[in-house]
Amino acid sequence: MKCSVLFSCILVSFMCEIYANDAESSKSDAEDQLTVSVSQGLMRGVFMKSSTGRQVASFRSIPYAKPPVEGLRFHDPIPAGSWDGVLDASKEGPKCIQYDSLLRSTVGQEDCLVLNVFTHDVNAKQLKPVMVFIHGGGFLMGSGNGETDMYGPKLFLDRDIVFVSMNYRLGPLGFLSTEDSEAPGNYGLLDQSLALKWVRENIGSFGGDPNSITIFGESAGGASVEYQVLSPLSKGLFDRAISQSGSSMCYWSLHPNIGEKSLKLASLLQCPTDSRQLLECLRAKSAIEIIKMGKTFQTWDAVDLVMTFGPRIDNEREFPFLPAHPRSMISAKNFNSVPYITGLNQNEGCLVLAPLLAKGGKGMKDLEKDPIKYLPFLLGMEHAENKAEVARKVMNLLDSDRPISKQLQTLEEMFSDTIMFKCIDESANLFRKFNDNPTYFYHYAHRGTLSLAMLMGAPPNVQLGVCHADELFVLFANDLLPGPVSADDKIISSLLIDLWTSFAGQGTPRSELAPEWLPMNAEERRYLHIDATNRVMTSENLPFHHRLPFWNQILDDSIVEDEKPLKNEL
């Protein structure tokens, strides 16, 4: 099996269904332990094992919202109703329908708003901290699944926590907007918020503490966590938050022109432009038609990186999810103040560079042939009016006497700066000044045995550093992905899970494998550097800080005036 298929390859479930006798007297003690009552009714799960063999009760594919189909498509999620009998929660549910860029096919289904709960004891005398994971995937793909996706929770379940994951609507089905009250958008984020409400109301039935809920996520999941921190609609639904390699202020995360893209999608599907008629027409189309047509927004066949639909400021609502720009909300302290961890990986730009090198380097050849055309696309500026001018300024960072393909480190730094470093750094600076609770920052620099670059098809002989998402390979494990492989991987895995679970339990990240992790404050920008051989607290500038003034200068002219970023204080 090619490693590029690992994320999305579907396996036959290794668990068997539990067949229970209706007569109460015939049930075994084990079956009794796996039957749980929640607000919607009874459900039955199955046992599994953590990575060290601890027994875990798993309950999967639990509906938290009504199926978002027909009249509920492009509609705020509605809580799921009660079910008859006992819900079979022994198997994973489907992914939300999406175009999977790794499999290069459409997978999943529209009826997908479910969550998964894993616990050690449904009858726990002492309630345990709850960790709710929000998956990434550019708001276009992914799922919270642990068998048919990569997020197997076995490593986390070695610790005394309750683990929850969820699915939410993606792509145009999750984020299309007419930019008016007919369809304000942000349905995927509202799905997440409703799932968190379900967790708050029901997690006690699984031995989880409803007053100790930590949300965490990576990439678009990390940005989603920050959106939940910002949103007034999620107030009181969680107690701590962790954003890994994602921010609400990244260009790929906050979309100012969803309405324009929605009109284009409607036109391609031969739907009218009037908002109400447009929605009626799109609701009559199949979900597969909409997803496949959304794929046509891709403008470069060599690189599958289009993030067309995503979160937006939805102040057309009576009660907006995101009432204003994140920058102004944080500066005004208009957010849910909770203890917060945010951070990034050393070579985030590998996410862009790896596809350029895949498929025989077709993308790199295109870039070398016409950098003025393709650089704006890679920098997220393909729609900017001055994109050619910006591309020419960026070209000055490269050595004109050498082929671009021989300057991989410079390219990686450019992509890292623009897709992640600039926006995450700004977000961290704002939270350290305006969050009334501690804000912690990390810099992840462990080069593990497995890397996202491998799955994206980069040549194995090219070292691209510590790629975007690489920490996931030591945080999660299942039958497809082994988890930590080398001795150093295992050290870092234990370290990260120590930090994340202690933060979930006490609000302070601690591990015997790392120095004391101090939060930032308004006066001092400090962070934990994480590597197998070098774990240190420091107040020194991050390695990319000296490059940010350049990006602030040339990119400011491409940003709408009221959305211009604050200058970084280095």
* Complete DSSP assignment for 133-197: EE--STTTS--S-SSSSS--BTTGGGSS-EEEEE----HHHHH---SSTT----HHHHHHHHHHH
> What are the catalytic residues?
219, 348, 468
pLDDT, residue 33, reads 55
Provide the pairing of β-strand 128-134 with 208-218: parallel
d(C-alpha 357, C-alpha 316), whole Å:
43
d(C-alpha 198, C-alpha 79), whole Å:
8
Give the mean pLDDT of the chain.
90
For residues 160 and 56, the answer to whether their CB atoms sit within 8 Å is no
d(C-alpha 153, C-alpha 93), whole Å:
16
Task: Provide the pLDDT confidence category of residue 104 given band limits of 50, 70 and 90.
Answer: confident
pLDDT, residue 16, reads 30
Ramachandran class of 29: left when φ > 0, alpha when ψ lies in -120 to 50, beta otherwise: alpha
pLDDT, residue 295, reads 78
Residues belonging to the chain:
570
Mean pLDDT across the stretch 451-474? 95
**Residue 373 or 299, more confident:** 373
pLDDT, residue 306, reads 62
Return the CATH fold of 36-253: Rossmann fold (3.40.50)
The pair of three-digit structure tokens given for residue 144, joined into one six-digit string? 């919270």
Residue 407: C-alpha distances to residues 120, 180, 233 (Å): 50, 46, 46
pLDDT, residue 101, reads 80
* Complete DSSP assignment for 8-51: T-----SSPPP---SSGGG--HHHHHTEEEETTEEEE-EEEE-T
Task: Provide the pLDDT confidence category of residue 232 given band limits of 50, 70 and 90.
Answer: very high
d(C-alpha 47, C-alpha 439), whole Å:
37
Residue 459 confidence (pLDDT) above 80: yes
Phi, psi of 518 (to 5 degrees): -95, 140
pLDDT, residue 103, reads 79
> What are the start and end residues of each CATH 3.40.50.1820 domain in the chain?
36-253, 344-563
The pair of three-digit structure tokens given for residue 365, joined into one six-digit string? 């050849």
Task: Provide the pLDDT confidence category of residue 6 given band limits of 50, 70 and 90.
Answer: very low
Mean pLDDT across the stretch 67-90? 97
Half-sphere exposure of 482 (CA within 13 A, CB side): 10
pLDDT, residue 79, reads 98
Containing 341, the helix (H) or strand (E) segment is: strand 340-345
pLDDT, residue 553, reads 86
Radius of gyration of the chain, Cα coordinates, nearest whole angstrom: 23
The pair of three-digit structure tokens given for residue 84, joined into one six-digit string? 């008859």
Mean pLDDT across the stretch 192-196? 98
Residue 487 confidence (pLDDT) above 60: yes
pLDDT, residue 8, reads 34
Containing 538, the helix (H) or strand (E) segment is: strand 536-538
Task: Provide the pLDDT confidence category of residue 144 given band limits of 50, 70 and 90.
Answer: very high
For residue 298, count other CB atoms closer than 10 A to its CB: 14
pLDDT, residue 555, reads 72
d(C-alpha 536, C-alpha 356), whole Å:
34
What top-level class would CATH report for the domain 344-563?
alpha beta
Residue 7 confidence (pLDDT) above 60: no
Q: What confidence tens digit (pLDDT) does each residue in 464-474 have?
A: 999 999 999 99
Q: What confidence tens digit (pLDDT) does each residue in 18-77 have?
A: 223 333 333 334 444 589 999 999 999 999 999 999 999 999 999 999 999 999 999 999
Global pTM value: 0.92
Task: Provide the pLDDT confidence category of residue 527 given band limits of 50, 70 and 90.
Answer: very high
- What is the percent of the chain where pLDDT is above 90? 82
- For residue 180, give the amino acid letter: D
Mean pLDDT across the stretch 315-321? 96
pLDDT, residue 480, reads 80
For residues 424 and 342, the answer to whether their CB atoms sit within 8 Å is yes
Mean pLDDT across the stretch 432-438? 97
- What is the percent of the chain where pLDDT is above 70? 90
For residues 162 and 119, the answer to whether their CB atoms sit within 8 Å is yes
pLDDT, residue 556, reads 59
pLDDT, residue 436, reads 97
Residue 42's beta-bridge partner residues? 37, 86
Mean pLDDT across the stretch 491-498? 98
